[in-house]
Chain A
Amino acid sequence: MSNLIKGKEQEWETVIGLEIHAQVKSNSKLFSSSSSTFGSKPNSQVSLVDAAMPGMLPVINKYCIEQAIKTGIGLNAKINNYSVFDRKNYFYADLPQGYQISQYKHPIVGEGKVTIDFKDGSSKDIRIVRLHLEQDAGKSIHDQNPTKTYVDLNRSGVALMEIVSEPDIRSADEAGLYISKIRSILMYLDTCDGNMQEGSLRADVNISVRKLDDKYGTRCEIKNLNSIKFIKQAINYEVKRQIEVLEEGGVIEQNTLLFNTSTGKTRPMRSKEEAHDYRYFPDPDLLPLEIDQEDIDKLKKTITELPDDRKKRYVDDYNLSNYDASVLTADKFVSDYFDNVIKFDKTLKKSSKIVVNWITSELFSLLNENNIEINNSPITPQYLGKLVKLLKEDIISGKIAKDVLVEMFNTKKDPEKIIEQKGLKQVTDTSEIENIVNEVLQENQKMVDQYLSGKDKLLGFFVGQTMKKSKGKANPKILNEILQSKLSKKN
């Protein structure tokens, strides 16, 4: 698959690296005991440490360290037994300390990699440079008053994991797949809730373009994107902009950009002369973090199935394609649902592809229409399993199964009961179907004549009429057989 972009005179290659900020799933903040719950009353979860009152000292949250280690293991990365917390100094209203406690030279997690899967079945590794722990800043609200900014420090001090990739990404689509994969790993590990709308997962995107095999071009960084859709839009816009500048003989200035979600355009955030000088230095309030290998090994054992392991199981045990398996495992809740459907009955293992289709097309469209997440689905995995089994055993037809599914969705009822109550069982009794076929052929003598004189297409008409008469309950295979044999006898 070629990712090259055609310019006026030549083709360009896009080079992208991502810095993902993932909020650690924990009860309390990284260096204080205030709650990290989202959406509380402003400034209600701010301790004296978070507000940076003089003399306050940070004490690290053990669980946040464990969460970072687990995430590192999930990213196939090296866990560093020795890491250091540094102060990143900058001046801003929602950063009361005047610095952010972060990790600079010695992060807790080193090099790793994740695999992304493409539709055509191929895959690609994206290398991870590092993961480090840091504090989040507070929240500023700029648009409520022409002369004031309002500040809420509830988020101040909440633990973040910054995950930095190598510039291995070559298109907006790859960037989308990469962040989806990271999100999925985090959610399987339960180290981040993955909620992009609430800002639990957001990304800074570094973008440059170059002629193929040339050295990297000058990059621009787009800050703080919080949806996969916006990430892709921002990349596509920025790549086009950079190519245009270069083709007109200009140069790309290294810049920090903001993406305007309503116009779909990027614009520079700060001018160069005010470029940040963070003056990193080790935080004298915090000793280096030393981790025993034993503790890392213990945490390794607590990790259950990761998306790639589960994908492999689906390919090996259920014969699903690599891509189908990757789509299914991307969201842990979807994948758990699928597992529970299959668990309903042994025979379903062989029909796994049909189960996938029922989940990803029929069930998803019902859930989407009603804005319901799969983990709150009114149709239990057991009932969906039962429905697919009834379909496979020819008790109901595919068309009726779809109607039953809607009924199940609305009433939460057992599919077997619905079928019984509404008399929807498929008619497989040949004599009954034969009677209906006879009626249809008698009522449509003209059409029969036309068919016999060579209008083959009319077969579909007879099938439709018979089906309609049987109220959709005739077994389509038997119906077709009878119809064809009847018509050929007439010839």
Chain B
Amino acid sequence: MKLDINTINKIAKLARIRLSEEEAKDLLKDMNSILDWVEQLNEVNTDSVEPLANISSSILPQRKDEAKDINSADEILKNSPDKLEGYFAVPKVVE
């Protein structure tokens, strides 16, 4: 599998990362070599092997439905560059 520069730009756009033309070219090279490396796995025949979710055969830990009263507003908003009356304030998002 080979990525092209359009795919790199699309991924960057979806991730909201601005790339210069130069950076995109570098990333194209890097990502293609990573893909090439991972593709070596295709040499193994996995037709009869179930996908593995984890190697420790542990099960999904579950918790009780207990609500903790945390009254978090001050702490949660502490790092926010802009806020108003307990709300985060962000640049206007349309829709």
Which residues on A are within 8 Å of B, measured CB to CB? 26-28, 33-37, 41-47, 51, 59-65, 84, 89, 91-93, 140-142, 145-153, 258, 269-270, 277, 279, 282, 286-290
Cβ contact within 8 Å between A258 and B95: yes
Residues of B contacting A150 with CB < 8 Å?
84, 87-90
A46 adjacent to B61 (CB under 8 Å): no
- Cβ–Cβ < 8 Å partners of A277 in chain B: 10, 14
Question: Please, what's the 1-or-0 string for B46-81, where 1 marks a CB less than 8 Å from any CB in chain A?
Answer: 000000011000111111111111111100110000
Determine whether B93 belongs to the interface, using a CB cutoff of 8 Å to chain A: yes
Q: List the A residue with the shortest CB-CB distance to B63.
A: A59
A258: chain B residues within 8 A (beta carbon)? 95
What residues of A have a CB within 8 angstroms of the CB of B88 in the complex?
A: 43, 93, 150-153
Partner of A44, one of B72, B90, B93: B72
Residues of B within 8 A of A65 (CB): 62
- Point out the residues of chain B lying under 8 angstroms from A63, CB to CB: 64-65
Complex contacts, A33 vs chain B, CB 8 Å:
63, 66-68
Query: Can you name the residue of chain B whose Cβ is closest to the Cβ of A282?
Result: B53
Task: Report the bound CA distance from A392 to B88 in whole Å.
Answer: 63
Q: Across the interface, do B70 and A148 meet the contact criterion of CB distance under 8 Å?
A: no
Cβ-based interface call for B85 (8 A): yes
User: Do the beta carbons of B93 and A147 come within 8 Å of each other?
Assistant: no
Given contacts A148-B92, A287-B54, A287-B59, contact A28 B76 (CB under 8 A): no
Closest 10 CB pairs of A and B: A63-B65, A150-B87, A35-B67, A42-B86, A62-B62, A151-B88, A28-B67, A287-B60, A27-B67, A43-B73
A147 / chain B contacts, CB cutoff of 8 Å: 91-92
CB contact under 8 A between A27 and B59, given known A42-B86, A279-B14: no
Contact B95 A270 (CB under 8 A): yes
Q: List 23 A-B contacts (CB under 8 A).
A: A26-B65, A28-B65, A28-B67, A28-B68, A35-B69, A44-B73, A45-B70, A46-B72, A47-B68, A61-B64, A62-B64, A62-B65, A65-B62, A93-B88, A145-B92, A148-B92, A150-B87, A150-B88, A150-B89, A151-B89, A151-B90, A269-B95, A289-B60
Report how far A477 CA is from B11 CA in the complex, Å: 83
A64 closest partner in B (C-beta):
B65
Question: Are A91 and B16 in touch, CB under 8 angstroms?
Answer: yes
A92 and B93 contact, CB distance less than 8 A: yes
Q: Separation in Å of the B74 CB from the closest CB of chain A? A: 9
Could you say which interface size class chain B belongs to?
Answer: 35 or more
CB < 8 Å neighbour of B60 from A92, A140, A286:
A286
Interface pair A153/B76, CB less than 8 Å apart: yes
* Chain B residues within CB distance 8 Å of chain A: 10, 14-16, 53-54, 58-73, 76-77, 82, 84-95
Between B10, B54, B58, B63, the greatest number of chain A beta carbons within 10 A of the residue's beta carbon is seen for B63
Report whether B60 and A290 are in contact in the complex, using a CB–CB cutoff of 8 Å.
yes
Given A33-B66, A287-B54: A42 in contact with B93 (beta carbons within 8 A): no
**In the complex, A28 Cα to B70 Cα: how many Å?**
12
Nearest CB of B to A86, in Å: 12
B69 to chain A, nearest CB (A): 7
- Report how far A388 CA is from B67 CA in the complex, Å: 46
Report whether B70 and A47 are in contact in the complex, using a CB–CB cutoff of 8 Å: yes
Query: How far is the CB of A90 from the nearest CB of chain B, in Å?
Result: 8
Of B15, B87, B92, which one neighbours A146 at CB under 8 angstroms? B92
Report chain A residues within 8 Å CB of B91.
Answer: 147-149
Determine whether the beta carbon of B73 is less than 8 Å from that of A41.
yes
Once the chains bind, are B92 and A149 in contact (CB under 8 Å)? yes
- CA of A26 to CA of B67, assembled, Å: 9
Chain B residues contacting A286 (CB-CB under 8 Å) are 60
Q: A34-B68, A269-B95 are in contact. List 4 more A-B contacts (CB 8 A).
A: A28-B67, A45-B70, A47-B72, A148-B84
What residues on A are CB-neighbors of B65 within 8 Å? 26-28, 61-64
Determine if A290 and B59 form an interchain contact, defined as CB atoms under 8 angstroms apart. yes
**Do B53 and A43 touch across chains, with their CB atoms under 8 A apart?**
no
Q: Is the CB of A142 within 8 A of B93?
A: yes
What is the minimal beta-carbon distance from B66 to any residue of chain A, in angstroms?
6
Question: Which residues of B sit under 8 angstroms from A41, Cβ to Cβ?
Answer: 73, 86
Residues of B within 8 A of A146 (CB): 92
Closest to B69 in A: A35
Q: A97: shortest Cβ distance to chain B, in Å?
A: 13
Q: Is A148 within 8 A of B63, CB to CB?
A: no
Q: What residue of chain B has the Cβ atom nearest to residue A42's Cβ? A: B86
Query: Are B85 and A42 neighbours in the complex by a CB distance under 8 Å?
Result: yes
Task: Given A34-B70, A62-B65, A279-B14, check contact A151 B87 (CB 8 Å).
Answer: yes
The residues of A that contact B58 with a CB separation of less than 8 Å are: 287
Task: Determine how close the nearest CB of chain B comes to the CB of A53; give it in whole angstroms.
Answer: 9
Q: Nearest residue in A to B62 (C-beta to C-beta)?
A: A62
Alpha-carbon distance A482/B2, docked complex (angstroms): 100
| Least Cβ–Cβ distance between B38 and chain A, in angstroms | 14
Establish whether residues B73 and A42, one from each chain, have CB atoms under 8 Å apart when the complex forms: yes
A149 surroundings in chain B (CB, below 8 A): 89-93
CA–CA, A288 to B62, complex, Å?
12
| Interfacial chain B residues near A92, Cβ < 8 Å | 93
Quick one: closest B residue to A31, CB to CB?
B63
**Nearest neighbor of B72 in chain A, beta-carbon distance:** A46
Q: Nearest-CB distance from B61 to chain A (Å)?
A: 6
In angstroms, how far is the closest chain A Cβ from the Cβ of B8? 14
Q: In whole Å, how far is A232's beta carbon from the nearest beta carbon of chain B?
A: 23
Nearest-CB distance from A38 to chain B (Å)?
Answer: 13
